[in-house]
Amino acid sequence: MKKAYSELSREELLSLREKLGREFVRYKGQNIHLDMSRGKPSIAQLNLSMGMMDVFHSESDLKCEDGTDCRNYGVIDGIPEAKRLLASIAEVPPANIMIFGNSSLNVMYDTIARAYSLGIMGNPPWCRQGRVKFLCPSPGYDRHFKITEEFGIEMITIPMTPVGPDMDMVEEYVNNDPQVKGIWCVPKYSNPQGYSYSDETVRRFAALTPAANDFRIFWDNAYSVHHLYEDRRDTILEILDECEKAGHPHIVYKFTSTSKISFPGSGVSAIATSLANLADIQKRVSVQTIGHDKLNQLRHVRFFRDRYGVEAQMRRHADILRPKFEMVIGSLEEELGGLGIGEWTKPLGGYFISFESLPGCAKAIVGKAAEAGVKMTPAGATFPYGIDPNDTNIRIAPSYPPIDELRTATKIFALCVKMVSIDKLLES
Amino acid sequence: MKKAYSELSREELLSLREKLGREFVRYKGQNIHLDMSRGKPSIAQLNLSMGMMDVFHSESDLKCEDGTDCRNYGVIDGIPEAKRLLASIAEVPPANIMIFGNSSLNVMYDTIARAYSLGIMGNPPWCRQGRVKFLCPSPGYDRHFKITEEFGIEMITIPMTPVGPDMDMVEEYVNNDPQVKGIWCVPKYSNPQGYSYSDETVRRFAALTPAANDFRIFWDNAYSVHHLYEDRRDTILEILDECEKAGHPHIVYKFTSTSKISFPGSGVSAIATSLANLADIQKRVSVQTIGHDKLNQLRHVRFFRDRYGVEAQMRRHADILRPKFEMVIGSLEEELGGLGIGEWTKPLGGYFISFESLPGCAKAIVGKAAEAGVKMTPAGATFPYGIDPNDTNIRIAPSYPPIDELRTATKIFALCVKMVSIDKLLES
């Protein structure tokens, strides 16, 4: 059993610090360049979808099932078979789906942008409603927060728990403050903690009675089929269904995409929502574009065929990702377990592990790691305005590097945690 | 030499009207469904690009020339070789290009949307500047006008001439009214007239001294390489270059795409503008998305290679389009020449022929054609708010139907012109 750092004497800490410092210098000398900053699939994962490059050739029939020539203009909401495929991923009826372009982030941005300048379902645009607000369960996804920040929307931090956001706070804000227009959610294998919302959390979302008519839950179901294990999977209640049952069918926009199923940047994205919301969105989007890339929609359907094809693909992704997650978690346990200087999550899916350092250490750890050539997501990025009030949260993205590099990167990271933690303990 | 309808007696008109009416009834009985409403490439044109489906296969190297794996996230501004290709189409240096997704209309919409909610280069957002205005050379492109209408931007009609918009009016508005924020332009083979701006027109655009810092020319170069003839081509001065020379490098956004070069809906689009504008745009767009579809960018480059590949392809497009334009123009000449009830343009490129009826007849002609099963662009659509003050302009889109169908459609259209014109003459 290792001794917690807090129980070490000043002399022990100083001596350990010196030893760790020498180790750090050795790593620095190796001219390392490793990246654990972004949730990018690895090359091996990208290779899984190369068969998609063979599904079309110059003699292919590029009509979709209703006879539409996918090569030409038109079809604002997506071809029927793509709707079915994305609906199966999003766990909603195909009628509730609208297909978009290559990026669900872009769809979320545009949804905020439309609400801001044009308004939701006949309500005044947010830009004419004074200072509007968004709830931001944190730690959360930095790119979500950047969007609301861009539009000058006031962001309110809601603490995350292992079963979802603090719902007492969510209800308090949403049900009473008409300036609160939305909340960012990654309900399954959340970014960065890998937490999944409990049934009670989902039901409390569905039961919200927003003070604002134009309040919407932004339900980013980015990791719906992104399990690491066959036998241990998080499942969450389907939010559209729950909202319908609760009598609030219009309060949620659900987003999904194939970015981490096929190719990031060349996938297909979608919104799932009530028919009234869809009609509102389609009316607006038909001014924005004549249609999204139907050939890419058809390419995805011809390659994956259906939900079973997607699930088979996700098992292959899991086979590549699982050893990386296990290695990082095992290595953190080995290096830091029992030292009392950090905690980390052990997710069953998604793309991230979340690390909690001693208060006031996250920025310094990330800076130290960068010094040794290991790039992490900037500390603070997982909170609104990039400010983590306790400076404790660090997002670890194990997906991209090959496992050997990841092992080195994790060792260096753990070393930096130790050094910065000792410095902090010596300060006090 | 045919006699003009205005010179016919009332009796002659009545008898002719009856004869034409019988002909119309015969057409109606044929249960015809023809579409001359949208500028869509024909199936034969789409087939020209089917080779693009063979350029990638499951063993392909999908790295672009700088080593970036095009299958993964990243690259906000486009891969270098795609920039070069689109720059060659847009006739600008690659440094001035940013690549977007599948639709230049979407890029224009987003450009307006950003200006409206976030502002251009540090200027206040248009939504905070009271009633802002846009100049709309008309007849023009209906989808342009729909965008500015959507954002509540006041649209001011500027008359079109065969050498471009009425530049006296443009200068008067732009140089004096700080609420005028932009102008829609299709400078080459304009939609719908097929007019191209003269050198003087382009130079007067470049020499504008806008009262508003955030005024921009929206230069939609949709038909830059879309010539019908080898030996007779419109050429226009390059606007970025002219603006630079005139000392106003930032006043123009130029838009282009491969929609009518490869596949509509599955092409690649771009903005060309000054470096300062590009930096402003990229900063904003990097909040909206992680990147556009790089695989599709690479697919286009591997298929077309360069400007020469594009030009060869455009000659093949022209071989399909030219006979259709010539047939429609010839048929209009044969049916309506000398009757004094309409005029039409004879463009050397682009996708449209513009028809001018007697005052107050356009809506009735389009309605009549619809009755017989021939769908035209709604009359009025070529003007802001869908209102053609003289009710004379009709856009003819000859590209999509096979030539036999187009012949019938044109005959029916000409018949409707005759009938409605006689009705109008009889009224007065």
Determine contact: B150 vs chain A, CB below 8 A.
Answer: yes
What average pLDDT score do residues B382-393 get?
A: 97
Q: Does residue A40 surpass a pLDDT of 90?
A: yes
Paired residues of B134 in beta bridges: B155, B182
B41: chain A residues, CB-CB within 8 Å: 72
DSSP state of A386: G
3-state secondary structure of B99: strand
Nearest to B43 among A38, A69, A287 (CB): A69
Q: Cβ separation of B294 and A266 shorter than 8 Å?
A: yes
**B28 and A CB contact within 8 Å:** no
Starting at the edge strand found earlier in the chain, the sheet holding B393-396 runs B342-344, B353-357, B393-396
Q: Which residues of A touch B151 (CB under 8 A)?
A: 117-118
Burial class from Cβ neighbours inside 10 Å (0-12, 13-18, 19+) for residue B65 reads: exposed
Q: Which two tokens stand for residue B191?
A: 């939609």
Is-contact B231 B198, C-beta < 8 A?
A: no
CA distance A163 to A158: 13
Confidence at B38, pLDDT banded by 50, 70, 90? confident
Mean pLDDT, chain A, integer: 97
Q: Do A295 and B101 touch (CB under 8 A)?
A: no
Owner of token pair 């130029």:
B254
The owner of tokens 């990246």 is A35
Q: How confident is the model at residue B141 (pLDDT cuts 50, 70, 90)?
A: very high
What are B357's strand-pairing partners? B342
Interacting residues of A178 by C-beta distance below 8 A, sequence separation 6+? A211, A212
Q: What is the pLDDT of residues A300-335, one digit of tens each?
A: 999 999 999 999 999 999 999 999 999 999 999 999
The amino acid present at A315, given as its one-letter code, is: R
Chain B CB within 8 Å of residue A288 CB: yes
DSSP letter assigned to residue B384: G
| Facing B72 at nearest CB: one of A41, A74, A110 | A41
Q: What three-state secondary structure class fits A87?
A: helix
How far apart CA B349 and CA B196 sit, in angstroms, is 9
- Write the residue in B49, B103, B128 that is nearest to A289 by C-beta: B103
Residue B2's pLDDT is 82
Residues of A in contact with B40 (CB under 8 A): 72-73
Instruction: Note whether B151 contacts A118, CB cutoff 8 Å.
Output: yes
Closest CA to A354 of A216, A194, A226, A156: A194
* β partners of residue B157: B136
Measured between CA atoms, the residue of chain A closest to residue B297 is A266
Burial of residue A34, with CB atoms counted within 10 A of its CB: 0-12 exposed, 13-18 middle, 19 or more buried: buried
Calculate what percentage of chain B has a pLDDT beyond 70.
Answer: 100
Largest CA distance in chain A: 78
Contact residues, chain B, for A57 at CB < 8 Å: 53-54
State pLDDT tens for residues B60-69. 999 999 999 9
Encoding tokens for residue A38?
């972004």
Rounded mean pLDDT of A2-21? 96
Element (H, E) at B324: helix B307-336
Residues 6+ apart with CB under 8 A from B334: none
Chain B residue numbers with beta carbons less than 8 Å from the beta carbon of A105 are 288-290
Contacts of B106 in chain A (CB under 8 A): 288-289
Tell me the sheet residues that pair with A182.
Answer: A134, A216
- Interchain CB distance below 8 Å, B56 and A53: yes
Strands B180-185 and B216-220: parallel
Size of interface A-B (CB pairs under 8 A): 161
User: Is B1 a residue whose pLDDT tops 70?
Assistant: no
Q: Mean pLDDT across the stretch B335-355?
A: 98
* Strands A393-396, A353-357: pairing kind: antiparallel
Pair of tokens at residue B303: 């298929």
**B95-129 pLDDT, tens per residue?**
999 999 999 999 999 999 999 999 999 999 999 99
Under a CB-based contact definition with an 8 Å cutoff, are residues B361 and B368 in contact? no
Asked if the ipTM is above 0.90, the reply is yes
Mean pLDDT of A327-355: 98
Question: Which chain A residues are within 8 Å of B293, Cβ to Cβ?
Answer: 101-102, 265-266, 293, 296
**pLDDT at residue A398 is higher than 70:** yes
Report helix, strand or coil for A141.
Answer: coil
* Chain B: residue whose CA lies nearest to A108: B288
Indicate the pLDDT class of residue B59, thresholds 50, 70 and 90.
very high
Smallest Cα–Cα separation from A127: which of A144, A152, A145?
A: A152
Mind listing the pLDDT tens digit for each residue in B278-293? 999 999 999 999 999 9
Q: What is the pLDDT of residue A2?
A: 83
Is the pLDDT score of A420 beyond 80? yes
Reported as half-sphere exposure (CB side, CA atoms, 13 A), residue A132 has a value of 27
Confidence at residue A1, expressed as pLDDT on a 0 to 100 scale: 61
The string of pLDDT tens digits covering residues A211-253 is 999 999 999 999 999 999 999 999 999 999 999 999 999 999 9
